[in-house]
Structure 1
């Protein structure tokens, strides 16, 4: 094969390269050990797309002076939309049938966005929302890359046409110079450099947008385009050099698959590995070395798998996610590999029954208008199917007996003097809550008057989550967030992560009643404890948290609040850099309580709430007649040993500790509904309603601590962890 044919003719090695890409993605999603970075297969696809599409558009623009847009878009519609639309419809039906109604409705929204090829931006927005960060993955999540590719197909021809026009103007109207790739190379190189710069910046500051958006992935497509436009230079490589170059490229892809992982900030600099590796394979293949990696990639099994890659990519993820609810059990490694094999079988059927007939049908190939009509019809059907199913899946509503709203009444002062009337009042209020919890523990049917209703629960966020008082991952500093009586001389500071902020509805009502000046100081996934912390969301050291801690401690030392209420999640683990209830956690708790006490503040540490081990509104939507299915055993929801250790650590620092277990659990179970009050709005935060129910109890606990005499004021320690 001569150089020109090798450059622009059929490249069997590219089919094999697609096989490498899809195998990496499927094995990664199946959880196969050793392929922790298999998600880079998508980057391989992007570079290949940039190579093929740019080369095709450039050749047409230079030979004809234009690009037949209708022909180009028609070809893309025939190639991609029938298979993609089919999988959207089938996946939507499966989600509506198999998933809990509340989850199914969210997934159907993803399906509509996927049918319209804007799913990548929907997922970017969802990924930016802290309260959605722990949501179950969507069966449509892999459609983000298809949306990005469609956006690339929409914009790339305009870029090529614009460059062609500028190139003709530069040559002059009468010039008859040979076609030159230089203007296109300059444009693509500039675009790629700008995109890479944005990707590097957003990987650190806006990870979801860096991962999902076209501006941060365009450099990968541009890299493929640069290889296509410089093919003549690649063809001049000596055979030995070309062979070595190709094998190095494959080694880089394999290295990325083996060494990268879920905690790798991505795309960032890590994406250079698969992108450069793919570019080297594509470039080396232009020279066609006999002993190069292209020889292995061109083997018939690899080519067959490459032809299957698009349909297999479409099917593998929904099959992996929908198989467990279909089978009624989670899948082990063998089960996941079986699901991947089933999706491969579906891909074979899709290739031969849908993909190839639509792609090669002569009436469609001869008419761009028919091709575009087919694409539009498929898109409309897929989006409409999502809309119809969204209407058909009912909004989950409890149909059990109307339940009484739980209330806690403050007991009247005792008739006879008591040793500690406040402690006695708190015990009585806790007993009221315990009685309500015990009465609800065995109730099966979700009450018809559930508050908030299941459909509204995910949006049941206290105002502090919406007005900037709860600082997001990248925020530092803390704006004034004062409620209650701003002129009061009694300042109460509610401090910690989102588990402190979820108590704000209770403390805001208390501040109004008791004329406190309440300050809410909170930052997501950032306990006030002086522990080095890694953010799985950011994929790096959580420096913003460490800065915020220092600022907040300095502020508390300067303001001398009467009471600091400290609360934090107990769901931190190895991915954050420390285990909850471990010795570093407990020692840090003692230190921070002592520091706050040294600043003349009384300190109340709120114990943990139960971990329901499910997204409770979603779980209840699937068990409207058996709410106990969503109520975990106390032994798995709470750590009695950890709570006892925290109580001792708090006392060692001079603070008071509140074990909240009786407000949520019986001796055996922790119900998800108490009376008609839904306890959790997601998988770990309280609803506004239940926080308000418990307001009298936490108010009594706070009053007990405030009633104790203040310690003598001592000079505050310098801010910052030690």
Structure 2
């Protein structure tokens, strides 16, 4: 997938979902009058009622796709398309209901409409929100719990989709753990759709009355104006979806503007239901089975690497349109009878609650038992969430939905919705108060102070610059060794755990580090901008995290520093794809060429290369593999040809956790978050990189001794928090290592 952790395709929505008795016409009629889960044109069913059992079965297909995908079941890599199925279903049902209102009364009964939606969606949704919030506060580390509770509040207000889009746009938050509330994004999309689409229907009705007296007098108002409005909405939204899928993937996935076309597709079927109902039986059957085949194809052939929604979403949307449209003709040998089988409809009946429960259960059960779930465990979690769904259906959904005092009063229904929303929001706020910001309560620790090295006299056997680096490294190593025994988080930890995520250098905000879609190399000079000696710090975010130390070093030496960075883009000549963008990372390749051209033109005295080593196969290559090492040698040689000295910084340890979050759960045992050295450091890979750098004529700085003892890599050194997240240094710790960085720079620039 293109971004956002593990749940990038998780959510889905319901458009007035059905919970009626299987064969009870009276119950179906009650549903028809209140909730709109029915055909746009009742005449299209043979029974004369508006009940569509095949749509209930279609819900079952969609929810099974989604939950199996989330459980990691092999063969359903595209199960996330269930969200698209439900968007189309919702558009069909809601548009049909609104069209019936406007065609009979000339307007839409907004209070009744929103009251029905409140009874349908909010009781179960509010229950899951509150229960999940309580469980998250109890089971998750405090820092993660507080962030998750923010998601709960946003989800209760149905704006969670935009919160998740913002998180997905932030490169440094893109790998954050998935939220137990992330699946509520789609309910946000639906609620926003509910706000806008009735207004468009009312506006179109007003325009029709103003411009056509014939339409006002007609026995059967024409659906043409509404079809036109919906077609325009669909076209504009689809265009936005195409553009944003390529340029703003999180916004393409989570936002209403890029998803409205899917809802509109269902609405177009609703407004053209009479035309669908006239299809010959054989043609309708073929259309329905073809639609189901498209859904199966999307579920089995798409996967998380597919740019989405974009054009790929046409598969499930068209498939759903064909299934629903063909069902209007009720062909004898169509797909409808299979979808209407009682077991299938039984799953469809609980699908809303099952979806609401399954994702929190999948995420929170591992936190409860203390280890990840295997496939069997995940299937067990789905069964548990299914049981919760059945209970929710019978104890919450149906009793509230069919309560007579609520059904006869839109005002009471709306008041109920307001109360549920307020309770969910207040629950999140109260839990935030109950889960205060975690603060270390250990003894105050000393600053990490590295004294300037005494430069020894050069001799044939002693290189003074090597000796200076060794002296300073030894000082840091002593502090690291002392801190490795620390158990309690210091009370004067810097930065504080809650402040760590925002503790990043200015270059991440001032344009020196280009984001995913940005190219070009802006003027990012610091130190002494007018110096004739230039040091260029080049690479991805792991180069940028060292910028505070290099800025301090170049200020001391009165050198000019140029910082040239781009996220997830190492300066190595390797074909690269972006898992965040879900496509070839052409912006990275273009930026590399621009940077190399600039370095060749400016000819700095020193070029420092730094990059993350966490690149896996989803980028098209793997750190430390032969292609990586060969590319490193070639790049060093190419940069050396400019006349510059080249210094390659080795990797920092990989903590294998989001360190502030981990520490917030282990305030009295820092070692629980400090990984063993063999786990955190790839010694063989570092040695291979050093050889590859030397082969290209550059110098290599193995930084391991600055962070690790022989056994462990502590995540707190002195009072410094080492990591701001799961792989970047804090600004404070980078600054504390300035003397070492200065010595490394001096050594790289010294005549050889």
TM-score by length of 2: 0.93
Unaligned regions of 5+ residues in structure 1, if any?
A: 710-722
In the alignment, which residue of structure 2 is the partner of 1:56?
A: 97
**Cα distance in 2 between the residues matched to 1:183 and 1:375:** 33
Cα deviation code 1:684-714 (max 9, x no counterpart): 00001111111111110110110125xxxxx
> How many aligned positions are there?
709
CA contact (8 A) 2:76 2:300 kept: yes
Q: 1:128 to 1:7 in 2, by over 3 A?
A: farther
CA contact (8 A) 1:128 1:208 kept: yes
CA contact (8 A) 1:565 1:604 kept: yes
Aligned pairs for 1:73-88 (under 5 A) are 73-88=114-129
2:692 equivalent to 1:663: no
Residue 263 of structure 1 is aligned with which of 295, 305, 319?
A: 305
**Cα distance in 2 between the residues matched to 1:694 and 1:174:** 78
**Cα distance in 1 between the residues matched to 2:640 and 2:373:** 50
2:459 equivalent to 1:396: no
CA contact (8 A) 2:84 2:316 kept: yes
In the alignment, which residue of structure 2 is the partner of 1:720?
A: none
CA contact (8 A) 2:457 2:464 kept: no
Q: Secondary structure at the match of 1:26?
A: helix
Q: Secondary structure at the match of 2:217?
A: coil
Residue 476 of structure 1 is aligned with which of 513, 519, 533?
A: 519
CA contact (8 A) 2:458 2:464 kept: no
Moved >6 Å (runs of 4+): 415-418
CA contact (8 A) 1:586 1:645 kept: yes
How big is the shift at 1:5?
Answer: 5.7
CA contact (8 A) 1:6 1:287 kept: no
**Cα distance in 1 between the residues matched to 2:298 and 2:333:** 23
How big is the shift at 1:380?
Answer: 0.2
Q: 1:318 to 1:7 in 2, by over 3 A?
A: farther
> Structure 1 stretch 550-559 or stretch 55-64: which is displaced more?
55-64
CA contact (8 A) 1:311 1:348 kept: yes
Cα deviation code 1:638-686 (max 9, x no counterpart): 1111111101110111100000000011111111111111110000000
Aligned pairs for 1:285-324 (under 5 A) are 285-324=327-366
**Cα distance in 1 between the residues matched to 2:214 and 2:285:** 43
Q: Secondary structure at the match of 2:564?
A: strand
Aligned pairs for 1:569-608 (under 5 A) are 569-608=612-651
Residue 203 of structure 2 is aligned with which of 146, 162, 165?
A: 162
**Cα distance in 1 between the residues matched to 2:148 and 2:435:** 11
Residue 565 of structure 1 is aligned with which of 599, 608, 612?
A: 608
In the alignment, which residue of structure 1 is the partner of 2:534?
A: 491
TM-score by length of 1: 0.97
How big is the shift at 1:169?
Answer: 2.4
**Cα distance in 2 between the residues matched to 1:331 and 1:454:** 28
CA contact (8 A) 1:616 1:681 kept: yes
In the alignment, which residue of structure 2 is the partner of 1:272?
A: 314
2:149 equivalent to 1:101: no
**Cα distance in 2 between the residues matched to 1:60 and 1:395:** 51
How big is the shift at 1:405?
Answer: 1.1
**Cα distance in 1 between the residues matched to 2:200 and 2:355:** 28
CA contact (8 A) 2:215 2:222 kept: no
Aligned pairs for 1:643-682 (under 5 A) are 643-682=686-725
Q: Secondary structure at the match of 1:479?
A: coil
Q: 1:10 to 1:74 in 2, by over 3 A?
A: same
In the alignment, which residue of structure 2 is the partner of 1:69?
A: 110
In the alignment, which residue of structure 2 is the partner of 1:717?
A: none
Q: Secondary structure at the match of 2:536?
A: strand
Residue 413 of structure 1 is aligned with which of 446, 452, 455?
A: 455
Cα deviation code 1:73-106 (max 9, x no counterpart): 0000010011101110000000000000000000
**Cα distance in 1 between the residues matched to 2:525 and 2:647:** 19
**Cα distance in 2 between the residues matched to 1:451 and 1:336:** 39
Aligned pairs for 1:430-469 (under 5 A) are 430-469=473-512
In the alignment, which residue of structure 1 is the partner of 2:38?
A: none
**Cα distance in 1 between the residues matched to 2:670 and 2:258:** 44
CA contact (8 A) 2:287 2:323 kept: yes
CA contact (8 A) 1:7 1:286 kept: no
In the alignment, which residue of structure 1 is the partner of 2:285?
A: 243
Cα deviation code 1:148-176 (max 9, x no counterpart): 00111111111111111122223227852
Q: Secondary structure at the match of 1:604?
A: strand
Q: Secondary structure at the match of 1:566?
A: strand
**Cα distance in 1 between the residues matched to 2:47 and 2:513:** 58
**Cα distance in 1 between the residues matched to 2:43 and 2:203:** 32
